[in-house]
Amino acid sequence: MIVAHITFAKTHHAYYNMHMRFGLQIIQVISAVLLMALILIQSKGVGLGSTFGGGGEVYYTRRGAEKFIFWGTIFVAIVFTLSSLAGVLLTK
């Protein structure tokens, strides 16, 4: 009876672990695509000159959709990072 319970527990744990990893992979793919899209939406007016410090833009406050995209990018980056760390911890 004890052997059957241990076998069931190991099988159940492996089954749960497999589905958890698959779910995390789906979250990683979706968040990676969203993160790329949000970053590309934000990168208006960025050229090679600003890479070397020659931008000369004035600081301004984000408003409306731009503020939503900015905070959405931060949120999606956090989700991607946490799902990646959870995936690494699950494989151990």
Domain spans of the chain, in order of start: 21-42+60-92
Amino acid 54: pLDDT = 55
pLDDT digits (tens, 9 = 90+) for 54-89: 555 666 777 888 889 999 999 999 999 999 999 998
Neighbours of 24 (CB within 10 A): 19
pLDDT digits (tens, 9 = 90+) for 3-40: 555 555 566 666 777 788 889 999 999 999 999 999 99
